Amino acid sequence: MSDPVLIIGAGGHAKVLVEALLAEGALIAGMLDADPARLGDSVLGVPVIGDDNTAEDFPRDAVRLVNGIGSIGLPEMRRSIFERFSARGYRFATVVHPSAVVASDVELGAGAQIMAGAVLQPGCRIGDNVIINTRASVDHDCTIGDHTHIAPGVTLSGGVTVGSGCHVGTGATVIQGVRIGDGSVIGAGAVVTKDVAAGLTVVGVPAKVVVR
């Protein structure tokens, strides 16, 4: 990474990103948090230097942003941060922890975050602002839509398609070829054996619809 990065948010997800960015050798200019009480805190030695308005102190072409908002408000808050700053001309850095295994042909969207121990096999396409969280396993030819969070320990078999704005909960398993529609939520530990239509919440083993 060449340009310094600014991290939006200073909570749990942002802390994990600091660790990944330091491991990548990135230069971190600081963290921005909406909570004024966080000003002056530091996270793994990186200072909280202001709120979102502080980004204006940095020329757009000399800094890249890292979206440190994880799951709060499900994907909406994270999506709105990405869209708001992108519309203002800021660029989002991709983050790939050095311990992640990313096959040579994998396509990573703007601001995609691949956390420690994740595996992305050949043929995968990862959208903008996606989180592939700690130790998630994404097998060959999967497609993950923009703003989706694949939580820690998820297993996606080959050829799975996950739409945009989805949350696939911790430890869930999705068998090969399944398609999950936009805005769906897969409960932690679920085993998904059939396609899931857009906007549904499914839980359990095998996964069943609980919210339409």
**Residue 31 to residue 18: CA distance in whole angstroms:** 9
Nearest to 149 by CA among 125, 169, 122, 123: 169
CB of 35 or CB of 195, closer to ligand JB2:
35
Size of the site for ligand JB2 (CB under 6 A): 20
Q: Considering only residues 97 through 126, tell me which ones interact with ligand JB2, judged by CB under 6 A.
A: none
In this structure, which amino acid lies at residue 125?
R
In a 3-state reduction of DSSP, which class is residue 78? helix
Omega of the bond prior to 59 within 30 degrees of 0, cis?
A: no
User: Looking at 97, 140, 147, 167, which residue is catalytic?
Assistant: 140
Residue from 5, 6, 14, 26 touching ligand JB2 (CB under 6 A): that is 14
Q: Tell me if 19 contacts ligand JB2 by CB under 6 A.
A: no
**Residue 135 to residue 116: CA distance in whole angstroms:** 6
In a 3-state reduction of DSSP, which class is residue 134? coil
CB of 34 or CB of 103, closer to ligand JB2:
34
Nearest to 173 by CA among 161, 188, 159: 188
CB of 150 or CB of 196, closer to ligand JB2:
150
CB of 23 or CB of 49, closer to ligand JB2:
49
Q: Tell me if 153 contacts ligand JB2 by CB under 6 A.
A: no
Q: Considering only residues 37 through 76, tell me which ones interact with ligand JB2, judged by CB under 6 A.
A: 38, 51-52, 69-72
- Clarify whether 149 is annotated catalytic: no
Rounded to a whole number of angstroms, the CA Rg of the chain reads 17
- List residues binding ligand JB2 (CB under 6 A): 8-14, 32-35, 38, 51-52, 69-72, 77, 81
Catalytic residues: 140
